[in-house]
Amino acid sequence: MASSRVSTSNMAQRVVQNVEAIAQLHAAAEVSMSQRFIDRLTASIGRPSSIWTVLILVALWMGLNTFGANAGLPRLDPPPFPWLQGVLSLSALLVTIIVLATQRHQAQRAARRGDLELQVNLLAEQKTAKLVALLEELRRDLPTVRDRVDPVAAAMSKAVDPKAVLSVIEADVPPRNTPSKKD
């Protein structure tokens, strides 16, 4: 019973360490004040209430400039509403730029996470290769186990060279923007 508490405690401690490492990764991502502003702006623009707000403002603008003259209000932007069209076009341009800036920031964060995942996977692969090598050594050293040659285990006990894998991938997959050799 005590050993299960110790292993649970060790596992919980490892989980806490992993969470802290992820928090440090997020904290280390240098985010400028302008990027934080853009992220907040994107979050507020991306809400469904923004659609209703824009629709209500456009309807009020059109209603006031169309029917406001009947109530004695001046027409600031008579139909076909050139000022409204200009404001909406500028707003669309600004929202597009804001969305693109947010996507760029998210892509950078995803690339950093991808790099971290690759490093962790490479380390896990190296550890697995070491474990296979140790098991093979143990199998050879145990007198009760028949010693035999296992080519699969021998191959798995060697860590994979990431550069070699990359060169094989690049040799088999043609670049996206160039025609393949068959064309």
Which of 39-43, 78-82, 130-134, 140-144 is predicted least confidently? 140-144
What residue ranges do the domains of the chain occupy? 32-172
Answer yes or no: is pLDDT of 49 > 60.
yes
Task: Write b or e for each residue in 125-138: b if 16 or more Cβ atoms lie within 10 A of its Cβ, otherwise e.
Answer: eeeebeebbeeeee
Answer yes or no: is pLDDT of 25 > 90.
no
The Cα 178–Cα 2 span in angstroms is 62
Over residues 96-110, mean pLDDT = 91
For residue 93, what pLDDT band results from cuts at 50, 70 and 90? Answer: very high
- 38 by Cβ neighbours in 10 Å (0-12 / 13-18 / 19+) ranks as buried
Over residues 18-25, mean pLDDT = 74
Q: Which residue has the higher pLDDT, 28 or 182?
A: 28
37 phi/psi in degrees, rounded to 5: -60, -45
Answer yes or no: is pLDDT of 11 > 70.
no
Taking only the tens place, the pLDDT of each residue in 110-159 is: 988 888 888 888 888 888 988 988 888 888 888 887 777 888 888 888 88
Q: Which residue has the higher pLDDT, 102 or 165?
A: 102
Answer yes or no: is pLDDT of 179 > 60.
no
Answer yes or no: is pLDDT of 183 > 50.
no
The Cα 47–Cα 65 span in angstroms is 28
